[in-house]
C-alpha cells in the first residue's frame, strides 16, 4: 500500500481567493484601513503631475501670472505652489510608512492564523491521508509554502490593488484632459493585458513544478538523513547522490524556465513603454503646435504615462512572486480541503466501560478490488486477551487500523457493547484505549512530556509509579528521572528502552483496552524479556489485543486467532492449536527452527 502521492488538483485564481478568504476575513478591518491609506497615497501621487502642469502653464511659460486655484486653495506665488508640492511629497512618505507597517503586521497575523489552522486541520484528517503522503512534502507545505504566502499577504495583493487603481485613475485623468490624446496614449494597453494573461499561464505552470520539486527534495533530505547509518554501512552514497542530483537538476530546470519567462516579460513591458512615450512625444508635439493642448498638458501626459508604466513594471515583478505564492496556495488548499474524520451527527454517549468488542463479517481493502480482510468475525469480552497470529501480509495490523478508526471497513460492522463503532465519537473510544506499536513513537522533550503531554492533573508520584510498572527504572538510574531529556528520534534511548517508555505511557493513560502491534519486533532477547513482563503487568484486568511476530508473546493469551490471506483459518488457545497441528503449529515450528539455526 505504498502508493504515496500528492493531490495535484489545479485551482482557479478566483477559487484560490475564495479558499483563502476565511483566513483573511478576521483581519478585514486592518486590510480596509490599509486600503484607505493606499487611496490617500494614490490621490497624492496623482496630484503631483497636476501641480507640475500648473507650474509650467501658469508660472514658467505664462506672462500673466494671476491667481491659480489648486482645489480649495488659491495662490499667485510660485513659491507657495512649490511648498504645496513639497508638502504633498512629505505627506506621501508619512502615509506610505504607516501603510507599510500596518500591511506587514496584517500579513504576519494572517500567516500566523493560516499556519495554526493548517496544523490544526492536519491533526484531525484521517490517518489514511498520512499513509498516502510523503512526510517531506507535508513539512514543505507547512513551512516553505506557508512562508511563500507571507509575501503575498503582506505586500503583493495590496500593492497589486494599489497599482491597478493607480493605472485606472491615470487613464481616467488623461481622458479628462483630452480624449483623442488619451486614446492614442493607451493604444498599447490591450497588448499589455494580453501579455500579462499569456505569461501568467505559463509562469504558474513553472512555479507549480518548482514547488513540487522542492517538496520532493525536502522528502529526500528527510529520508536520507534519517537513514544515514544505512547509507554509510551499505556504501550506497554514490547512488543516493546521483538520485538527489537528478531531483536537484529538475528543480534547476524549473527555475530556469521561470527565469526565461520573466526575462522575456520584462523587456516586452519596457518596449511597450518606449512605444507609448514615442506616441506621446510625436502626437503631443503636433497637438501643441496646433494649439489644441498646452505644453503643461503634454508634460503631464508624459509624467502620468511614466507613472502608469512604473506600476506595470512593479506588477511584472510582483506578478512573478504572486505566481509563486498562488502555486503554494494551491498546495496548501489541497491539504485544507482534505476532509477531516467525521463523527456521527448524533453520537452515542461514551460508554462507562467497554464490555464487548465484536467484529461482524468484516471485509476491508486499501485498494479497490485488492481485499486485505475477508469475512472476519470474532468477539472480545471485558478483561479477555486475544492474540493475532499470521504471516507477514496476512492482515493482522489492518485489524488494528479498523478498531482504532484509522480506516473504515468496506462491509460488515465493528460493535462496541453491541452498538456500531461508527455511531460513537471515535475519540471517545480512543480515550479508553492505548496502543503500543511495532515502531515505538517517542517525542523530543522530557520523559514527563512523553508520559502525559498535559500532566497537570497527575502528580509526579503517579508518573514515577507508571515508569516502575513498565520496567523503566533506568531513567532514575541515569539521575534525571521524569526530567530526563529525550532528543529527536528518541535519542539516546535504545529500541528496547523506547518501547518500555511507550508501555509506561500506556500505564499513565490507564486504558480499558490495550493493543500491542508487534511490540517485541526487532528487539534483543534481554529487552524482549523486560517488555514481556511490562506487557503482562499492563494487561492485568484489562481487555487486550496482541499482534505478534514472535509467537512466544501470545502464549498467555485466552484465545489466539490465526490469519491467512486475510481470513481467520484457526482459533483457540495455544495448547488447542498446537494439538490441531494446522497453520499455527506450522508457524510455531518454523519459528523454533529459525531460532535454533540462529543460535
Does the domain at 11-176 match CATH 1.20.1560.10? Answer given as yes
pLDDT of 444 over the 90 cut: no
Split at pLDDT 50, 70, 90, the class of 593 is very low
Q: Measuring CA to CA, which residue among 321, 292, 366, 306 is closest to residue 132?
A: 366
Domain boundaries, the chain: 11-176, 356-597
Split at pLDDT 50, 70, 90, the class of 363 is very high
pLDDT of 91 over the 90 cut: yes
pLDDT of 94 over the 90 cut: yes
- Between strands 445-446 and 559-564, the pairing is unpaired
Residue 506's CB is within 10 A of a number of other CB atoms, namely 24
pLDDT of 8 over the 70 cut: no
Q: Are 75 and 68 in contact (CB under 8 A)?
A: yes
Residue 162's CB is within 10 A of a number of other CB atoms, namely 22
Split at pLDDT 50, 70, 90, the class of 65 is low
State residue 209's pLDDT score: 78
Q: Measuring CA to CA, which residue among 356, 286, 363, 273 is closest to residue 314?
A: 273
Interacting residues of 486 by C-beta distance below 8 A, sequence separation 6+ = 442, 443, 444, 445, 446, 447, 450, 493
Interacting residues of 296 by C-beta distance below 8 A, sequence separation 6+ = 52, 53, 54, 55, 56, 57, 58, 61
Interior angle at CA 120, CA 4 and CA 505, nearest 5? 85
Q: Are 24 and 110 in contact (CB under 8 A)?
A: yes
Average pLDDT of 79-96?
90
Burial class (CB in 10 A: 0-12, 13-18, 19+), 356: middle
pLDDT digits (tens, 9 = 90+) for 183-235: 887 888 888 778 777 776 777 677 777 767 777 777 777 777 766 766 766 66
pLDDT digits (tens, 9 = 90+) for 385-423: 898 888 888 888 888 888 888 888 889 999 998 898 888
- 590 or 85: which leads in pLDDT: 85
Give this prediction's pTM: 0.64
Using CA atoms, how far residue 220 sits from 229, 240, 439, 562, in Å, is 15, 9, 21, 38
pLDDT of 573 over the 70 cut: yes
Please tell me whether the peptide bond between 96 and the residue prior to it is cis, using omega within 30 degrees of 0: no
> Is residue 495 helix, strand or coil?
helix
Under DSSP, the state recorded for 581 is T
Q: Are 514 and 436 in contact (CB under 8 A)?
A: yes
Angstrom distance (rounded) from CA 258 to CA 319: 12
Average pLDDT of 258-286?
82
CATH homologous superfamily of 356-597: P-loop containing nucleotide triphosphate hydrolases (3.40.50.300)
Angstrom distance (rounded) from CA 269 to CA 267: 5
Q: How many residues does the chain have?
A: 599
Q: Are 184 and 370 in contact (CB under 8 A)?
A: no
pLDDT digits (tens, 9 = 90+) for 10-56: 555 667 777 778 888 888 888 889 888 988 988 888 888 888 888 88
Amino acid at each position: 500500500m505504498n502508493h504515496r502521492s500528492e493531490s495535484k488538483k489545479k485551482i482557479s485564481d478566483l477559487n484560490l481567493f475564495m479558499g483563502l478568504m476565511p483566513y483573511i476575513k478576521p483581519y478585514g478591518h486592518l486590510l480596509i484601513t490599509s486600503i484607505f491609506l493606499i487611496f490617500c497615497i494614490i490621490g497624492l501621487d496623482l496630484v503631483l503631475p497636476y501641480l507640475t502642469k500648473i507650474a509650467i502653464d501658469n508660472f514658467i511659460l505664462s506672462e500673466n501670472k494671476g491667481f491659480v486655484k489648486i482645489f480649495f486653495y488659491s495662490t499667485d506665488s510660485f513659491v507657495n505652489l512649490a511648498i504645496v508640492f513639497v508638502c504633498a511629497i512629505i505627506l506621501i512618505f508619512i502615509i506610505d510608512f504607516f501603510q507599510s507597517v500596518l500591511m506587514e503586521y496584517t500579513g504576519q497575523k494572517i500567516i500566523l492564523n493560516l499556519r495554526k489552522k493548517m496544523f490544526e486541520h492536519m491533526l484531525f484528517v484521517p490517518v489514511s491521508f498520512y499513509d498516502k503522503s510523503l512526510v517531506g512534502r507535508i513539512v514543505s507545505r507547512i513551512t516553505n509554502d506557508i512562508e511563500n504566502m507571507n509575501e503575498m499577504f503582506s505586500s503583493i495583493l495590496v500593492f497589486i490593488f494599489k497599482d491597478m487603481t493607480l493605472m485606472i485613475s491615470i487613464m481616467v485623468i488623461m481622458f479628462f484632459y483630452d480624449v483623442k490624446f488619451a486614446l492614442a496614449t493607451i493604444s498599447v494597453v490591450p497588448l499589455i493585458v494580453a501579455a500579462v494573461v499569456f505569461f501568467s499561464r505559463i509562469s504558474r505552470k513553472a512555479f507549480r513544478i518548482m514547488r513540487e520539486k522542492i517538496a520532493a527534495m525536502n522528502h529526500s533530505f528527510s529520508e536520507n538523513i534519517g537513514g544515514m547509518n544505512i547509507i554509510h554501512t551499505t556504501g550506497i552514497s554514490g547512488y543516493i547522490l546521483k538520485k538527489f542530483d537528478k531531483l536537484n537538476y529538475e528543480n534547476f530546470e524549473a527555475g530556469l524556465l521561470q527565469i526565461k519567462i520573466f526575462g522575456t516579460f520584462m523587456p516586452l513591458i519596457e518596449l511597450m513603454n518606449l512605444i507609448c512615450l514615442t506616441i506621446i512625444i510625436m502626437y503631443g508635439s503636433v497637438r501643441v503646435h496646433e494649439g489644441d493642448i498646452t505644453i503643461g498638458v503634454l508634460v503631464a501626459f508624459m509624467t502620468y504615462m511614466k507613472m502608469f508604466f512604473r506600476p506595470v513594471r512593479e506588477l511584472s515583478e510582483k506578478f512573478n512572486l504572486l505566481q509563486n505564492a498562488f502555486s503554494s496556495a494551491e498546495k496548501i488548499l489541497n491539504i485544507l480541503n482534505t476532509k477531516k474524520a467525521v463523527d456521527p451527527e448524533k453520537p452515542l454517549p461514551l460508554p462507562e466501560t467497554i464490555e464487548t468488542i465484536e467484529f461482524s463479517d468484516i471485509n476491508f481493502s486499501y485498494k479497490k478490488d485488492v481485499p486485505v480482510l475477508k469475512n472476519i468475525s470474532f468477539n472480545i469480552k471485558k478483561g479477555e486477551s486475544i492474540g493475532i497470529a499470521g504471516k507477514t501480509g496476512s492482515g493482522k495490523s489492518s485489524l488494528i487500523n479498523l478498531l482504532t478508526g484509522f480506516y473504515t471497513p468496506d462491509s460488515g460492522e465493528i460493535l462496541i457493547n453491541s452498538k456500531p463503532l461508527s455511531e460513537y465519537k471515535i475519540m471517545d473510544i480512543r480515550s479508553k484505549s492505548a496502543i503500543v506499536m511495532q515502531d515505538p513513537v517517542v517525542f523530543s522533550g522530557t520523559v514527563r512530556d512523553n508520559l502525559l503531554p498535559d500532566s497537570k492533573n497527575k502528580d509526579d508520584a503517579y508518573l514515577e509509579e507508571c515508569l516502575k510498572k513498565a520496567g523503566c527504572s533506568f531513567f532514575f538510574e541515569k539521575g534525571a528521572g521524569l526530567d530526563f531529556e529525550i532528543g529527536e528520534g528518541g535519542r539516546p534511548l535504545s529500541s528496547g528502552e523506547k518501547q518500555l517508555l511507550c508501555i509506561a505511557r500506556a500505564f499513565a493513560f490507564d486504558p480499558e483496552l490495550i493493543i500491542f502491534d508487534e511490540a517485541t519486533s526487532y528487539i534483543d532477547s534481554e529487552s524482549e524479556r523486560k517488555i514481556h513482563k511490562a506487557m503482562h503487568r499492563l494487561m492485568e484486568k484489562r481487555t487486550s489485543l496482541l499482534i505478534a511476530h514472535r509467537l512466544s508473546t501470545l502464549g498467555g493469551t485466552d484465545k489466539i486467532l490465526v490469519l491467512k490471506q486475510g481470513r481467520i483459518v484457526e482459533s483457540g488457545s495455544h495448547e488447542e492449536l498446537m494439538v490441531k497441528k494446522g497453520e499455527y503449529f506450522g508457524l510455531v515450528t518454523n519459528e523454533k527452527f529459525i531460532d535454533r539455526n540462529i543460535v
